[in-house]
Amino acid sequence: MVANAYEQAIELGSDPRECVCLNFRQASRVLTQKFDDALKPTGLTITQFSMLMPLEGKGPMRISELADFQVIERTTLTRNLSVMEREGLVKIVPGDDKRTRVVQITGKGRKCMQAAVPIWNEMHQSVLSQLGNSNWDGMRGEVQDLIRTLR
Amino acid sequence: MVANAYEQAIELGSDPRECVCLNFRQASRVLTQKFDDALKPTGLTITQFSMLMPLEGKGPMRISELADFQVIERTTLTRNLSVMEREGLVKIVPGDDKRTRVVQITGKGRKCMQAAVPIWNEMHQSVLSQLGNSNWDGMRGEVQDLIRTLR
DNA sequence: ATAATTTAAGTGTATATACACTTTTATTAT
DNA sequence: ATAATAAAAGTGTATATACACTTAAATTAT
């Protein structure tokens, strides 16, 4: 009989403070705050930046396709896109298959991205140097593997 | 003059798909989904589990103290706590300093945690084995350093 | 002793997230 | 050809997140 849940976890051989989920969530929150703050002058959040980027790199995409590519729940993407559509960052048009809708970046979206890229790059470089470039090269592979395995 | 924001980023020497923020956010989403799903039988979310754990390990805490410890915005914690208070997982009482409020876990909270710990442990072990235990030992340090640096 | 400042916490508002469920359209089986 | 099934997307609802601002109490400066 252990005193509390923390002791119980230690007993099982795991320290809850070392939880992968906890640590990733914490880092995710802090990173999001910093990137959102840096991107403020561009009018984009890091969420929006991340959604627009593949639309730039790969062209128009179906909603499910973009959701899959971005590892985001489709219904979450729908909600995020409606904000972006209202702000004129994307246009959503019917696809050939009448079930589908296709997302494309607008002129305004491209303009915002053009302003955002240098700011994103500076933040990213700064984070990379904190993390150690070579460390991240290895870590990123592990993280992507983890994502692939879990979902 | 580059074709689009993706090319623009590549030109600057950074691949947006390798963005630390993006990758952490993706992993965070997937991990949260999996842990929330696994914890469902206990009635706790991983957010709630993570808030209750330090209350078990360290005892009652002021709101700001818990927010700081958990690397979560204080105003976010306030909102999360009101859900948990409504569900009877925590009790919030006035502190000696009349500005402060102190959060403490309830009997129900402890009971839920007791049920949750083995499930959390199993998930955590499974994630660890995917990630490679030794990898995570190193990674975790880097992640915590990054958090400390950024915030 | 009182004014100025700092600290702790809550509230208004908005985005971000995702599950359960529904609707519409396409595909497959019979 | 039609019924059954699968695929794509939206909606209801709820938690999670955080910024800007406010309120109340304690501390510090004068």
- By three-state DSSP, how is residue B4 classified? coil
Look over chain B and give the mean of its residue pLDDT values, rounded to a whole number: 96
**Backbone torsion region of residue B103, taken as left when φ is above 0, otherwise alpha when ψ lies between -120 and 50, otherwise beta:** beta
Q: Give the full edge-to-edge strand order of the sheet including A61-62.
A: A61-62, A101-105, A90-94
Q: Residue B143: its chain A contacts at CB < 8 A?
A: 23-24, 26-27
Label residue B1 by pLDDT band (50, 70, 90). Answer: confident
Per-residue pLDDT for A79 more than 90? yes
Model pLDDT, residue A19: 97
> Lowest mean pLDDT: which of A59-68, A110-119, A127-136, B60-69?
A127-136
Q: Answer yes or no: do B139 and A140 touch at CB < 8 A.
A: no
Amino acid found at B88? G
Interface probe, candidates B22, B76, B89, chain A, greatest A C-beta count within 10 A? B22
What's the CATH class of domain B44-150? mainly alpha
CA–chain centroid gap for B118, Å, is 18
Q: Answer yes or no: do A125 and B57 touch at CB < 8 A.
A: no
Amino acid found at B137? D
Model pLDDT, residue B104: 97
Q: B87 CB contacts (<8 Å, ≥6 apart)?
A: B43
Per-residue pLDDT for B134 more than 80? no
CA distance B6 to B15: 8
Q: Residue B34: its chain A contacts at CB < 8 A?
A: 21, 150
Q: Residue B53: its chain A contacts at CB < 8 A?
A: 5-6, 9, 16
Name the residue with higher pLDDT: B18 or A132: B18
Amino acid found at A14? S
Strand D: residues with CB below 7 A: A 25, 29-30, 32-33, 36-37, 62-65, 74-75, 78-79, 92, 95, 97, 99-102; B 45, 47-48, 72-73, 75-76, 79-80, 83, 86, 97-99
**Proportion of chain B above pLDDT 90, given as a percent:** 93
Question: What are the pLDDT digits (tens) for B21-76?
Answer: 999 999 999 999 999 999 999 999 999 999 999 999 999 999 999 999 999 999 99
**CATH fit for domain A5-150, picks 1.10.540.10, 1.10.10.10, 2.40.220.10, 2.40.50.60:** 1.10.10.10
Q: Give the full edge-to-edge strand order of the sheet including B90-94.
A: B61-62, B101-105, B90-94
Per-residue pLDDT for A93 more than 80? yes
Per-residue pLDDT for A133 more than 80? no
Model pLDDT, residue A16: 97
From B82's Cα to the closest Cα of chain A, the distance in A is 20
Interface probe, candidates A1, A30, A114, chain B, greatest B C-beta count within 10 A? A30
Per-residue pLDDT for B133 more than 80? no
Look over chain A and give the mean of its residue pLDDT values, rounded to a whole number: 96
Model pLDDT, residue A2: 87
The answer to whether B63 CB sits below 7 Å from nucleic acid chain C is yes
Q: Residue A60: its chain B contacts at CB < 8 A?
A: none
> Lowest mean pLDDT: which of A87-91, A128-132, B49-53?
A128-132
Model pLDDT, residue B14: 95
Query: How many Cβ atoms sit within 10 Å of the Cβ of residue A8?
Result: 21
CA distance A69 to B126: 25
From B101's Cα to the closest Cα of chain A, the distance in A is 23
Interface probe, candidates A31, A49, A111, A140, chain B, greatest B C-beta count within 10 A? A31
Cα dihedral across residues B7, B9, B11, B15: positive or negative: negative
Measure the N-to-C terminal CA separation of chain B; round to a whole number of Å: 36
CA distance B79 to B82: 5
Question: What are the pLDDT digits (tens) for A22-73?
Answer: 999 999 999 999 999 999 999 999 999 999 999 999 999 999 999 999 999 9
Mean pLDDT across the stretch A121-144?
A: 91
3-class SS string, chain A: CCCCHHHHHHHCCCCHHHCHHHHHHHHHHHHHHHHHHHHHHHCCCHHHHHHHHHHHHHCCEEHHHHHHHHCCCHHHHHHHHHHHHHCCCEEEEECCCCCCEEEEECHHHHHHHHHHHHHHHHHHHHHHHHHCHHHHHHHHHHHHHHHHHHC
Model pLDDT, residue B151: 85
Beta bridge partners of A102: A62, A93
Of how many residues is chain A composed?
A: 151
Return phi, psi of residue A62, to 5°. -65, 155
Q: Answer yes or no: do B26 and A131 touch at CB < 8 A.
A: no
Cβ distance A67 to A30 under 8 Å? no
Please report, rounded to whole angstroms, the spatial distance between the CA atom of protein residue B133 and the C1' atom of nucleotide D7.
39
Model pLDDT, residue B135: 86
Model pLDDT, residue A126: 95
Mean pLDDT across the stretch A8-35?
A: 97
Mean pLDDT across the stretch A134-151?
A: 91
